[in-house]
A and B are shown apart, each in its own frame.
Chain A
Amino acid sequence: MSNYIPTMGLEVHVEIKSNSKLFSSSANTYGMATNTSVNVIDLGYPGTLPTLNKEIIRQGIRACKVLNCNITRKMHFDRKNYFYPDNPKNYQITQNRTPIGTGGYVEIEVDGIKKKIGISDIHIEEDTCKSAHRGNVSLLDFNRAGVPLIEIVTEPCISNSKEAMAYLIKLRELLFYANISDCKMEEGSMRCDANVSISKTEKLGTRTEIKNISSIHNVGLALDKEIERQEEVLENGGVIREETRRFDDKIGETILMRVKETGNDYRYFIEPDIPYLVVTDEFIEDSLKTLPLLPDELRKKYKEVGLTSLQIEKLIANRSLNDYFLGLLEFKTNYVTAVNLLLSDISSYLNKHNKVITDTKLSYEKLVEVIENLESRELSNKNIKDLIDSLMETDKTLEELKKEFNIQNITDDSFINEIITKVIENNPDSVNDYKNGHDRALKYLMGQVMKETKGSVNPKKASDMLVKELNK
């Protein structure tokens, strides 16, 4: 039964980040009160015409770049005609014949094997209203009508659910890092449809489409289930129909929505209200100027400054910390120490207070000074825990804080030696225990040293000196 070869393709819609909508000046926002970001154009009012938000073309060009697509130089928009209450003009303005990008790919790695997932095209289009059904009435929220989308369509080249999930994770990371979209599946700013077919031969089988799968995890589940379902149908002598299904994550099955009778007839034609758009070299260059470093470029860069792959992945998974760290690279400091601080005490603070690092008063200069003090052992890790709230919340300098918290700079070896000598003199029993091989005694003695110095000496340094003294 398992000698069927599955083939899958994904169609992903992401909402493009922009100030205003694709064809009107209404704000492109999420979570506003119903029908408050709406004007006559979004309502499909008679006589209105679309304008074109060039910023979205720029975003499209950036998407082409990060997804390795060829940029279409002369493009137009098309009307896709269909009646539906969430479609204000009863046509959607999209790009049918001249998608902004073609022939791209996303490279993924599954079980150590790299693969390029081909992208046949990416195109720009407008979103529909959001509809809600209450009993026998339907309600429409036009805030979403006209929000810019890009649709990214893969070749039918995905072989299993792991590849599909890896592709989506990579796609999300790329578009998110390129500032093209928030890519939040839970808020609908990233949506995924999947086409699935199975076959025993080279010729592809009849495909079914699973609409609007709600998470990357569910894409994996839905694809596996659908492959299983199709195998069962074929093994039982049935045929696969062209149909649209949805994935119900409560019961873990794909469910039939409708059978496609004939090919959809969207009566496409060139949108006459928007002139052809010619994209110049200058426009492309200018659009790509603001493209930030992408994850793979970051990985390379971070490796060069000595971060471990675990540190790198943790950093990239946290966009605001990553961006902050990227800024820190302009300063000369110990980046490994910096990342450790960012991922430990600073992250704990941020999580505890539900803040992002840009909300805090931790300037790069202050952080560099903290790192220097750690390096020179003028600050201990314990000091950091004491200072962290003040470091993040006040404008006070490190020097001021050290005074305030009474942190002395005990780096003077003779002072430490004095303390150690005193501790050894006062604890002859423990010294004896240590000499007889009881490690616990060392811990006790070390504790005494720390107590005498009120924790203001570097523990490692003090420990080294103590051992040296004991072994004399």
Chain B
Amino acid sequence: MSKYLDLSIKEIHELLVKKEITPLDLVDEALKRIEENKDLNAFITINDKVREEAKNLGEVDPNNLFFGIPIAVKDNIITKDLKTTCASHILDNFIPIYDATVVTRIKENKMLIIGKANMDEFAMGSTSETSYFGAPLNPHDKKRTAGGSSGGSASAVSSSLVPLALGSDTGGSIRQPASYTGIVGMKPTYGRISRYGLVAFASSLDQIGPMTRTVYENASLLNILVGEDEKDLTSVKKNKEDFTRLIGKSIKGIKIALPKFFISDIVDKEISNRIKDVINYLEQNGAVVDIVDMKYLDTAVNLYQIIAMAEASSNLARFDGVRYGFRAKDVDSVDEMYGKTRGEGFGDEVKRRIMVGSYILSGENAKVYYDKALKVRDDITKEFNRIFKDYDLIIGPTTTRIAPLIGTSADDPHKAFMDDVLVIPVNMAGLPGLSVPVGKNSNNMPIGLHIIGKAFDEATIYKLASFLEEVF
């Protein structure tokens, strides 16, 4: 079996340019690896036209690093003519008629979509176990989850089925699985990447981002995903920049804050210790790391439950069996059609969140919960901005523990949110955050460092991440 997909993208690119390999070779290798690792359950749908697409890709563009590189796309990102299920029964036969903006960008840059990655149903979950198609597994220990909700993307990249994947992150869904599977996952600043074609979970929090094996590849992929999109009014116009530009630059004098909450006793001891090692190393190399007090971080999970579920209850209302997707049979009225379609089409976690969200927005509750949550959310943003007056970056562990064992999270929905307690505040403030592997614990399971940057300062995050990536 060829091993091209174990090479870096730069190396693969050189081979493509030298015509030693073709995009079809890469695709065939990826398909073979997926087949051989079927038990990982990383994909929901394989693109059965991908070999054809590889053959028709044309002449290699020596200036396009991503030419012919296979990529996995999370299955809540709309792909024209390629089934997009959101890991739900209600869309299990849904073949879209348009492309998400990020998918258009991927195609324009001649990447090859191998398939659609497994995930939690509608991205609602922390372990991808809510998937209608069963949970993807963690390649480091197949008894453990790959995290969630972008668990399939993480599993695929971590096991080198494909070098690149797209994930989406509403409350840590890129960074947490990246941490659990030992890869690099970036949630860019809210508005960096168009959400057009991302099936909405919580519109004010959702953000698409790259999941890769290396920091450089992550920054390179971000380069082509970003940009204002007239189809998404929340996307932001920014000058073009190269996110790899600070990679390899000295970190001397960089000022880093570590909130106390991030090393409190909610964090597993081994992980805390690893973070301390990281801090020592950074200080040895001229960075300034201060432990700081930050208010409101502990409220983020509660805010998330209110804001995300309220928005989700509305966003998922469109799945009603009228225009697309699954429609229940043997119904006598419109109301019965709604009830049965949604009752049978959605899984338990999705239904739970829709119910909670509907309750939160009902009558006076909207003021008591939702409006108040938005106010506290502003306070969190202000608190981050206060810290960022004095510091360039904020760091901490990405997760409080290593990837949990399959089957241990479903019983206590609230506990499952605690997997995301450290990553959710970043979504609340709309900031960029990245998880980079910083070694493994005694069970040989990956540990991730969470790096949070100022709004639209992804480049500085990549600078620090690549510095640590070399060592840990």
A contact set with B: CB distance below 8 Å: 40, 43-52, 79, 81, 83, 85, 88-91, 138, 140, 263, 265, 267-270, 272-275
Q: Are B318 and A268 in contact (CB under 8 A)?
A: no
Instruction: Give A269 to B204 CA distance when docked, in angstroms.
Output: 12
Q: Say yes or no: is B146 at the interface (Cβ < 8 Å to chain A).
A: no
Instruction: Give A40 to B77 CA distance when docked, in angstroms.
Output: 15
How does the 8 Å CB contact mask read for B84-104 relative to A, with 1 for contact and 0 for none?
Answer: 101000010010111010000
Q: A265-B362, A267-B361 are in contact. Are A49 and B317 (CB under 8 A)?
A: no
Chain A hits for B195, CB < 8 A: 49
Q: Are A47 and B314 in contact (CB under 8 A)?
A: no
Q: Are A83 and B233 in contact (CB under 8 A)?
A: no
Q: A47-B200, A83-B338 are in contact. Are A269 and B314 (CB under 8 A)?
A: yes
Q: A51-B231, A83-B338, A273-B233 are in contact. Are A43 and B323 (CB under 8 A)?
A: yes
Known: A40-B97, A83-B320, A267-B358. 9 other contacts (CB 8 A): A46-B319, A49-B196, A51-B230, A52-B233, A265-B363, A267-B362, A269-B370, A270-B374, A273-B233
Q: Say yes or no: is B366 at the interface (Cβ < 8 Å to chain A).
A: yes
Q: Are A91 and B314 in contact (CB under 8 A)?
A: yes
Q: Are B200 and A89 in contact (CB under 8 A)?
A: no
Q: Are B196 and A47 in contact (CB under 8 A)?
A: yes
Q: Are B366 and A268 in contact (CB under 8 A)?
A: yes
Chain B residues touching A, majority SS: loop
Give the interface size class of chain B.
35 or more
Instruction: Give A85 to B335 CA distance when docked, in angstroms.
Output: 10
Chain A hits for B374, CB < 8 A: 270
Q: Are A88 and B230 in contact (CB under 8 A)?
A: no
Q: Are B94 and A46 in contact (CB under 8 A)?
A: yes
- A49 partner, pick from B84, B204, B232, beta carbons under 8 A: B232
Q: Are A267 and B233 in contact (CB under 8 A)?
A: no
Chain A hits for B314, CB < 8 A: 79, 81, 91, 267, 269
Most buried by A among B96, B323, B374: B323
Instruction: Give A79 to B315 CA distance when docked, in angstroms.
Output: 10
Q: Say yes or no: is B184 at the interface (Cβ < 8 Å to chain A).
A: no
Please report which residues of chain B, range 284-322, place their CB below 8 angstroms from some CB of chain A when the two chains form the complex: 310-311, 313-314, 317-320, 322
- B320 partner, pick from A90, A140, A263, A272, beta carbons under 8 A: A90
Q: Are B361 and A46 in contact (CB under 8 A)?
A: no
Q: Are B361 and A269 in contact (CB under 8 A)?
A: yes
Q: A45-B98, A46-B78, A47-B196 are in contact. Are A272 and B362 (CB under 8 A)?
A: no
Chain B hits for A269, CB < 8 A: 310-311, 314, 361, 366, 370
Q: Are A90 and B317 in contact (CB under 8 A)?
A: yes
Q: A268-B361, A269-B310, A272-B203 are in contact. Are A46 and B317 (CB under 8 A)?
A: no
Instruction: Give A434 to B233 CA distance when docked, in angstroms.
Output: 87
Instruction: Give A49 to B338 CA distance when docked, in angstroms.
Output: 23
- B323 partner, pick from A51, A88, A275, beta carbons under 8 A: A88
Chain A hits for B203, CB < 8 A: 272-273
Most buried by B among A46, A88, A138: A46
Q: Say yes or no: is B281 at the interface (Cβ < 8 Å to chain A).
A: no
Q: Say yes or no: is B197 at the interface (Cβ < 8 Å to chain A).
A: yes
Q: Are B198 and A274 in contact (CB under 8 A)?
A: no
